[in-house]
């Protein structure tokens, strides 16, 4: 009996070793490494990026087209509402909040389409209407402040309030890996835009700045001009330093950033 039992056990062991369970040992070619699996956030980001690539034009949005794709926009925002960001890096959270802000502003415009009016004329658009973002009920102003509280004043050149005076809307989603390059490019572009960012009149010795630098001076260390000079090409910055200009602020253009 012992001999038979030993033989049976030996045979069972050989069979087990010779015929692995397919469910527990898929070939490397058939199973991607766990680290490369797409997260829900990756899929959400791709959805928002597709919408931007399709409808962001010339620094604004084609709201007529976005209205057609409103269901996709709402699908993205549903993901924004339920996102869990507790374990995310600073860069991931920052990109998430910028994207959420821009998408919520766009949804607010699309919801009213085709009756597009200036956001400044929509009561409570920024400080009363609540939106669910990562499980929190926030106004747009509160959402923007949460992004700024991460210690990045260049958020001001990434969030877009659906107005012509805002920085141009980036035609792609912000993400952690590209964030530094994206923010640097947005800042440079805004400071190079003489119609709404910065204009230096050497003849009159006047430095005209976006009202953003007036309204949010504290975010720029209390000295917006010093901050700006650090982010301009050195020759341009030196020209302004030497002139010791008078600072004035450009009128903010609240017309919708619609691109038809």
Q: At residue 28, does pLDDT exceed 70?
A: no
Model confidence at 16, in pLDDT bands (50, 70, 90)?
very low
Model confidence at 42, in pLDDT bands (50, 70, 90)?
confident
Three-class HEC string of the chain: CHHHHHHHHHHHHHHHHHCCCHHHCCCHHHCCCHHHCCCHHHHHHHHHHHHHHHHEECCEECHHHHHHCHHHHHHHHHHHHHCCCCCCCHHHHHHHHHHHHHHHHHHHHHHHCCCCCCHHHCCCCCCCCCEEECCEEECHHHHHHHHHCCCCHHHHHCCCCCECCCCCCCCCCCCCCCHHHHHHHHHHHHHCCCCCCEEEECCCCEEEECCHHHHCHHHHCCCHHHHHHHCCCHHHHHHHHHHCCEEEECCCCCCECECC
| pLDDT on residue 39 | 59
Rounded to an integer, the average pLDDT of 46-65 is 98
| pLDDT on residue 239 | 98
Q: At residue 45, does pLDDT exceed 80?
A: yes
| pLDDT on residue 62 | 98
Rounded to an integer, the average pLDDT of 163-173 is 98
| pLDDT on residue 106 | 99
């Amino acid at each position: 009996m012992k001999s038979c039992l030993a033989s049976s056990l030996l045979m069972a062991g050989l069979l087990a070793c010779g015929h692995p369970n397919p469910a527990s040992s898929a070939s490397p070619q058939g199973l991607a490494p766990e680290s490369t699996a797409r997260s829900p956030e990756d899929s959400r980001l791709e959805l928002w990026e597709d919408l931007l690539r399709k409808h962001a034009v010339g620094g604004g949005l084609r709201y007529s087209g976005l209205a057609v794709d409103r269901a996709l926009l709402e699908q993205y925002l549903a993901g924004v509402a339920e996102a869990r960001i507790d374990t995310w890096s600073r860069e991931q959270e920052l990109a998430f909040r910028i994207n959420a802000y821009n998408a919520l502003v766009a949804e607010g415009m699309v919801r009213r389409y085709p009756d597009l009016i200036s956001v400044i004329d929509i009561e409570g658009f920024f400080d009363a209407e609540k939106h669910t973002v990562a499980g929190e009920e926030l106004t747009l102003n509160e959402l923007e402040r949460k992004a700024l509280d991460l210690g990045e004043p260049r958020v001001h050149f990434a969030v877009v309030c659906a107005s012509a005076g805002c920085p141009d809307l980036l035609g792609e989603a912000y993400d952690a890996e590209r964030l530094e390059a994206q923010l640097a490019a947005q800042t440079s572009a805004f400071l190079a835009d003489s119609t709404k960012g910065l204009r230096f009149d050497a003849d009159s010795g006047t430095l005209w700045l976006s009202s953003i630098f007036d309204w949010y001076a504290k975010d720029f260390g209390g000295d917006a001009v010093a901050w700006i000079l650090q982010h301009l090409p050195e020759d341009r910055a030196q020209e302004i330093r030497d002139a010791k200009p008078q600072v004035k602020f450009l009128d903010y253009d609240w017309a919708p950033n619609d691109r038809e």
